[in-house]
Amino acid sequence: MTPLPRSTPEAEGIPSGAILDFVAAAEEQLESLHSLMVVRHGRVVAEGWWHPFAAQHPHLMFSVSKSFTSTAVGLAIGEGRLTLEDLVVDLLPDDLPAQIDPHLAALTVRHLLTMTTGHPTDTVSLADDSHGDNWARTILTQPLEFAPGTHYVYNSGASYLLSAILQRLTGERLFDYLTPRLFAPLGIVGATWQTCPRGIDAGGWGLSLTTEQLATFGQLLLQRGEWNGTRLVAAEWIDEATRVQVDTSGTEHDADGRQGYGYQFWRNRPSGYRADGAFGQFCLVLPEQDAVVTLTSALPAGQLALDLVWEHLLPAFNDQPIPEVQTRLAGTLASLTLPTVTGEPSSPAAARVAGIRFDFDDPQVTAATLGPGLLTILRGGVARPLAFGYGEWVASADARVLACGACVSPTSLVVRAHNVGTPFSRTFTLDVTDDALTLDIIQNVAFGDLPHTRLVSRHSAHPPYRW
C-alpha cells in the first residue's frame, strides 16, 4: 500500500514527551500492547510495534470488522441496493424459519446496524459449524423476545446477517464488494476476512489488517469519506453511522461502552468515535483533534488502554506546531519489545529429558518432545514443532509464530509463543520430577475463562522414559 505521509510530533502540535509518557504507562500498566500508531493532520507522527509483532503483520481485528461492514452497507445504500427500513424477511427469504412471528416480520436493516434486533443475548455463539452451515437461518430462528428497536444488546450475529444480506444483493463476498470501492483506493492489499461454511464473510469479526491499514481507514473516516480528492463514502453516511443511534448507558460495563452506539461504531467518552475489537483492537477517530490513534493489543480489558490514551495523548494535541526538542522517542518506538521469559538457558533436568517422547492420555495433545530450542507437540495426530530462543524471539516454520523460552527453575522450562496475526499467545510450562513430566498450556486472553490444559505423562513409549 502507499504509506501515509510521515511527520514529527512537534511539527503537528504534539509534544514527543506525551507519547513517551503513554508508552511508559502502557508498559507499566498493560499486559500486552502489540502496536501503536498516531496520525495527526493526515501524517503519521508516531508508530511502534512490540517485538515480535511488526509493521508487516496483519492482525486479527475482531469487532473492528463491524465498522467495515457498516461502511459497506452505506455504500450499498448509496448505490440504491437497499435502505435502512428494508425488512430482513424480504432480504433473506431463503434463510427464514418456517414460522415468522410479528417481531421477526418487523426486523429491519436499521435494527441490525444498531444492535436492537430484539434478541435477549448475543447470537454469535450460534455462528459455528456445530449449528450447521446456514448461520443466517440459525440466527433468524432464535426468538426475538423484544420488539425490534426497543431493546439494545450487543449482537455479532446481527453483523453477520448484514454480510449475508450484502452478499445476496451484490452476488459477491463482502470483502470482494469492498475491494474496488474501499480497499483498493486506500491501497489496502493482503487483508483477509474469515468466512462461514457457505462462503459468507463473518461481517462482525474475522477481518485481518495491518496497523497502518487500520489507520488509513480511520483517516478516511476523519476526512468524512474523501480520499485524494475522490469521494469514496458518502459524508452523510459516516456522520450518521458514527453518531449516537442507541443509548448504551445502562447496558455496557466499561465507561467508554456507555457513551452510545451508532451503526457498528462506538462513541468515545471524551471525544470522537471508534471502531472497537475484542482484547484491545482500536481505531480511534478524533475529529476535534484532527487525529487518528490505532492500537492492537492482547488485553483482557481494553478500557485500560483507552484510559491511557485519554490521560496522556488526548490532552497533548495543540492547535499549532510547537518547538521541537531532542527526545528519545524515535529510539524508544524502534526498540519496543514484549518481555522474554526470564531464567537460565538450560538445566540438568531439561538436558536429561531431551529427545524423549512423552505420551499423554488426552484426545487432542497426545505427546510432547523437547530438544535444544525446540518443543514439539503432537496435536490431533500432527506434529507441531515450536522453535524458541533464549532471550530472543525465534520464528517457527510458520513465520507467524514466534517464541522464547527459559528454565525458570532446575526442574521447570517455560516457553511463550505469540501468533503475531492474532492477540493470542500460549505459555507452555514443563515440570520434570523423578517419575513424571507435567505440561501446562495456558492462553493469554479468551472469551470467557482462559483455556488451561494440564497434562501428565508417567511413561514414554519411544524410547522408554528412564533417569
Using one digit for the tens of pLDDT, what is the confidence trace for 14-34? 999 999 999 999 999 998 999
Q: Is 91 left (phi over 0), alpha (psi -120 to 50) or beta?
A: alpha
pLDDT at 467: 25
Q: Which residues, 6+ apart, have CB-to-CB distance to 391 below 8 Å?
A: 340, 345, 404, 406
- What is the average per-residue pLDDT within 133-145? 95
Mean pLDDT value across the chain: 94
In whole angstroms, give the CA distance from residue 294 to residue 215.
Answer: 6
pLDDT at 220: 98
In whole angstroms, give the CA distance from residue 190 to residue 207.
Answer: 11
- What is the average per-residue pLDDT within 165-181? 98
Residue 463 has pLDDT above 50, yes or no: no
- Assign 47 a pLDDT band (cuts: 50, 70, 90): very high
Cβ pair 261, 267 in contact under 8 A: yes
| Residues composing the chain | 467
pLDDT at 326: 73
pLDDT at 464: 39
- What is the average per-residue pLDDT within 145-154? 97
Residue 461 has pLDDT above 80, yes or no: no
Question: Which strand (E) or helix (H) includes residue 28?
Answer: helix 16-29
pLDDT at 419: 96
Residue 407 has pLDDT above 80, yes or no: yes
Question: What DSSP string runs through 270-326?
Answer: SSSEEEEETTTEEEEEEGGGTEEEEEEE--S-THHHHHHIIIIIGGG--SS------
Q: Which residues pair with 107 in a beta bridge?
A: none
In whole angstroms, give the CA distance from residue 163 to residue 169.
Answer: 10
pTM for this model (two decimals): 0.95
- Assign 458 a pLDDT band (cuts: 50, 70, 90): low
DSSP 3-state assignment of 160? Answer: helix
| Residue, of 294 and 253, whose pLDDT is higher | 294
Cell of 312: 496522556
Using one digit for the tens of pLDDT, what is the confidence trace for 81-113? 999 999 999 999 999 999 999 999 999 999 999
pLDDT at 462: 45
Q: How far is CA 256 from CA 148, 174, 446, in A?
A: 24, 29, 21
- Sorted by where each starts, the structural domains of the chain and their CATH numbers stand as 10-334 (3.40.710.10), 348-457 (2.40.128)
Cell of 418: 505469540
- What is the average per-residue pLDDT within 155-164? 98
In whole angstroms, give the CA distance from residue 91 to residue 251.
Answer: 29
The string over 401-426, giving b where at least 16 C-beta atoms fall within 10 Å of a residue's C-beta and e elsewhere, is bbbbbbbbeebbbbbbbbbbbbbbbb
In whole angstroms, give the CA distance from residue 444 to residue 422.
Answer: 11
pLDDT at 227: 98
